[in-house]
Amino acid sequence: MAEVTIRDLRNHGGEVIDRVQAGEPITITRDGRPVAQLIPATPLGVPIDQLLARWRRLPPVDPVSLREDIDAILDTRL
């Protein structure tokens, strides 16, 4: 894992973040001792345009029929 001093992080923060964004984990040091780690963030999930495209392809749902199916499966006395 690469190391960067706090001073280098302050002076070249954009470059350090670019390296992390490219997938390189970096340890931040102070006086030669590790104090923090920068790692790439995990993706948040599926992009919104893909989610909308999937949603548009879903079949319509009849709420009354859905409720009847759920009631038939679950014990409604609970």
Which domains can be identified in the chain, with CATH numbers? 2-38 (3.40.1620.10)
pTM of the model: 0.55
pLDDT band at 45 (very low <50, low <70, confident <90, very high): confident
Strand 2-5's sheet: what is its strand order? 2-5, 26-30, 33-38
**What whole-number distance in Å separates Cα of residue 74 and Cα of residue 43?**
37
CA neighbor of 29 nearest in space, from 9, 43, 53: 9
Cα–Cα dist 65/71, whole Å: 10
pLDDT of residue 17: 96
Span 24-38, average pLDDT? 96
Task: Say if residue 27 is exposed, middle or buried (CB neighbours under 10 Å; 0-12, 13-18, 19+).
Answer: middle
